[in-house]
Amino acid sequence: MHPRWGVAALAAAALMSYARVFVGLHYPGDVLAGALVGALVGWAIMRWGRGPLGVIQAWVERGAGALHLPIPRTP
C-alpha cells in the first residue's frame, strides 16, 4: 500500500473526529481516547500479530484480496 493512502486516511479520521466534536456528538476526551485505543490496537497487531503462519503479515503486505485461506470442509 502506498504511504499516501495512510496520510489520506489519517487526514480523513482527523476531520471526522473534529466534526463529531463540532456537532456535539462527542466530547474531545472521547475522541482522544478512541484514537489512542485504535492506535494501540493497530500497533499491537503489527507488532505481535505475525504468528507462525504470518497470516496478518501476508494480509498487510499483499492486501486482503490476495490472502487465500483454506476453507475447512464439514463432514
Q: Is residue 37 one of the residues assigned to a domain?
A: yes
Segment of 24-28, 52-56, 71-75 carrying the highest mean pLDDT: 24-28
Which of 51, 16, 42 is closest to 30 using CA atoms? 16
The model's pLDDT over 43-52, given as tens digits with 9 standing for 90+, comes to 777 777 655 4
Query: Cell numbers of 42, please?
Result: 493497530
The model's pLDDT over 17-40, given as tens digits with 9 standing for 90+, comes to 999 999 999 999 999 999 999 888
What mean pLDDT, rounded, does the chain reach? 77
Amino acid at the residue 75: P
* Longest alpha-carbon distance in the chain: 55
In contact, 36 and 44? CB cutoff 8 Å: no
Distance CA 64, CA 46 (A): 15
Domain that holds residue 41: 3-66
- pTM for this prediction: 0.56
Distance CA 43, CA 38 (A): 8
Question: For the chain, how many structural domains are there in total?
Answer: 1
Looking at residue 1, its pLDDT comes to: 57
Looking at residue 16, its pLDDT comes to: 94
Q: Is residue 57 one of the residues assigned to a domain?
A: yes
